[in-house]
Copies of this chain bind each other. A is one copy, B any other.
């Protein structure tokens, strides 16, 4: 049984092949998953992620059981995660799990009778976010993910997306990383070979291919806040791209949204495309 718990579960070949298919099919509808049922089991609410899986499943003709309020129901009767997962796995073909505690997806996979996709477990992993982040780069850099200059900015300590993305990008050749954050929110994962930590984004922005802006993690206790100005953003080269895992707070002004380098809404669309292929690969 094929679970997607971590980026580590996804080989290079698998990713390239998934991205190529997503590129070719671009979310086109089919009926491949007719009669298949996915359960969105969300302990922590996430409109964006649950809707994306919902849409992806529907694009292939499958069905979705939406459970967005687990904490209001079984759990309030004292049920363990294991029992809830074992129970739900009797009624569907796949569980997409979002949970506030790191390691939950792994625990779920050990008891589930159907595959588990980790849609975010606390501060740990959110592999389908990384798949869509990687696809966005693949899409805009001529199906290549090497020789890129990537600038990551924001709270690099608490954001799981940055850690997973860096892990992914270091698998490819000659990528260079600039980590831009305040002292107390520095990247605490393993620093890749070709990387530097800088405190002033202006020192690296002009040579940046990908500016990856992260969100202030208010709900995880961070108090850090920042705003990139239009002037700063405008310094990135013409063929570079600006990404953001969303939601955003103040990091990027909405007046930048119409700039052709702003790709954060494309990321959301690409998320549906990639998840559609992933669901088919797991369920067929």
- Residues on A close to B: CB < 8 A? 29, 35, 37, 39, 45-48, 51-52, 54-55, 58-59, 63, 65-70, 72-74, 76-80, 82-84, 86-88, 90-92, 215, 218-219, 246-249, 254, 257, 265, 268-269, 272
Q: A39 to chain B: which residues have CB within 8 Å?
A: 51
A58 touching B37 in the complex, CB below 8 Å, given contacts A45-B72, A69-B45, A269-B90: yes
A78-B218, A218-B77, A219-B76 are contacts. A248–B83 as well, Cβ < 8 Å?
yes
B-chain residues with CB within 8 Å of residue A54 when the two chains form the complex? 65, 91
The answer on a CB contact under 8 Å between A77 and B219 is yes
Bound CA–CA A278/B76 (angstroms): 29
- A272: contacting residue among B29, B52, B80, B91, CB under 8 A: B91
How many chain copies does the complex carry? 3
A-B contact pairs, 28 of them (CB 8 A): A29-B35, A37-B58, A39-B51, A45-B69, A45-B76, A46-B74, A47-B67, A47-B69, A47-B70, A47-B73, A47-B74, A47-B88, A54-B65, A54-B91, A55-B91, A55-B92, A58-B63, A74-B247, A77-B219, A77-B249, A79-B246, A80-B254, A83-B246, A84-B247, A87-B265, A90-B265, A90-B268, A91-B272
Bound together, the chains give a CA A131 to CA B182 distance in angstroms of 55
